[in-house]
Structures are given as C-alpha cells and as structure tokens.
C-alpha cells in the first residue's frame, strides 16, 4: 500500500509544482489573495504544519487538519468564501484531508477558484484529481503524486499512473511538468533516499 498525503510537498520540492523549488509547500505560491481573513489564517496555519510533509508525523497534525477542514466547510456553507483566492486556499486545506471525499471536494474547490479567475489553482485542481483517483484504486493521470511505499527501505513511486492519457502538451497548459521532468524528480528522490539510508 502507498503512503498517502506526502506527494504535493514532495512534488514542489524540486520544482514539479509551480512556485519556489524548495521544500516549502505550494500553498505559498503567488495567486489571487484570499479575501476572507479567516481563510487566510487557516491557510497560513496549514502551510506551517505542512511545510515539509516528508518529515511530518501525520498523526500529530491530524486533529489540526480536521479542525481546519471543519471550519472551512462552515465558511463554505455560509457563503463566506467569495473570490478565487478563498476557494484555492480551501482546496489546499482539503487536499490535506483523510478521505476520498476530502480530495474530491478539494478538486471542486480548485475548479471554482479557476472559474473565479485564480489560474494558479489549476495545479491544485489537477493534483487533487490525481490524489482522488489513486485513493479509489485508479491510476493518476497528470503525475503530480509521488509517494514512498510502506517501509523506509522501499522506493518512491508514482504508480499507479496512466502516463499515456494526458499528453505533455496538455500538462504544460495546466502547469504540470512533462514526463521527463517527473522521471528526473523520481530519480532524485531515490538518490536522496539512498543517501539518507547510508548516512544512518
């Protein structure tokens, strides 16, 4: 079984997601600023907790993640998310969810953000779709998800992944790196894993 909830930060670490090529999460990439002050605060808290998902004890932040999702859902129901930035922030928070419904809602939120003019939300729209597909036992289609198989000595993988469905020309249009860059990123992850293992 593949470990979940690590892939987005890992993808950003070597520039596979838009934004800085560092280990910080992609939430901090520039886009439409959230208009709602509370969603901005919730996103900032989420960004801190998920600054480097490769080093996080997810059991320790699960309660905070759930609390944020509950509050975002309340804001959504009350109609207090209004601009694209609000919906993009909400999408990132739900991408750090724990169920297929969380990932599917993240996808819907990101699409709403795009429809409201925040085109930076395209990446999270595609990443949340990939994550949703993988959690229901289907193949991801954009290649945004990189996860380490269970066990520290097992390799990272993008599988299951249907590399043939979406051509690189389409990936480029929606801000996703081509297959060659993804393969290089995966190779670098394995080099880092081997280096870390030998340094123990």
Cβ distance 76 to 127 under 8 Å? no
pLDDT of 151: 65
Helix (H) and strand (E) counts in the chain: 8, 2
Tokens of 173: 């249009």
Q: What is the pTM of this model?
A: 0.83
Q: Is the pLDDT of residue 15 over 80?
A: no
pLDDT of 155: 86
Q: Other CB atoms closer than 10 Å to residue 183's CB: what's the count? A: 14
Separation of alpha carbons 138 and 136, rounded Å: 6
Cβ distance 54 to 6 under 8 Å? yes
Cβ distance 186 to 194 under 8 Å? no
pLDDT-based confidence at residue 25 (cuts at 50, 70, 90): very low
**Each residue of 150-187: pLDDT tens digit?**
666 788 899 999 999 999 999 999 889 999 999 999 99
Q: Is the peptide bond before 20 cis (omega within 30 degrees of 0)?
A: no
pLDDT of 29: 55
What does the mean pLDDT of the chain come to? Answer: 84
Mean pLDDT of 119-133: 95
**Each residue of 70-82: pLDDT tens digit?**
999 999 999 999 9
Longest dimension (CA), the chain: 52
Q: Which residues pair with 157 in a beta bridge?
A: 147
């Amino acid at each position: 079984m593949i470990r979940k909830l690590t892939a987005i930060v890992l993808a950003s670490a070597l520039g596979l997601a838009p934004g800085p090529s560092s280990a910080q999460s992609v939430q901090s990439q520039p886009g439409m600023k959230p208009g709602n002050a509370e969603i901005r605060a919730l996103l900032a808290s989420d960004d801190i907790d998920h600054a480097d998902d490769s080093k996080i004890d997810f059991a320790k932040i699960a309660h905070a993640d759930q609390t944020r999702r509950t509050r975002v859902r309340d804001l959504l129901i009350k109609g207090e998310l209004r601009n694209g930035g609000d919906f993009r922030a909400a999408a990132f928070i739900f991408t750090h969810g724990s169920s297929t419904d969380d990932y599917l809602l993240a996808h819907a939120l990101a699409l709403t953000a795009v429809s409201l003019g925040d085109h930076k939300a395209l990446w999270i729209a595609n990443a949340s779709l990939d994550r949703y597909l993988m959690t229901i036992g289907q193949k991801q289609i954009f290649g945004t998800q990189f996860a380490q198989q269970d066990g520290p000595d097992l390799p990272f993988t993008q599988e299951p992944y249907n590399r043939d469905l979406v051509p690189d020309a389409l990936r480029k249009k929606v801000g996703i790196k081509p297959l060659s860059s993804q393969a290089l990123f995966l190779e670098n992850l394995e080099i880092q894993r081997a280096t870390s293992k030998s340094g123990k």
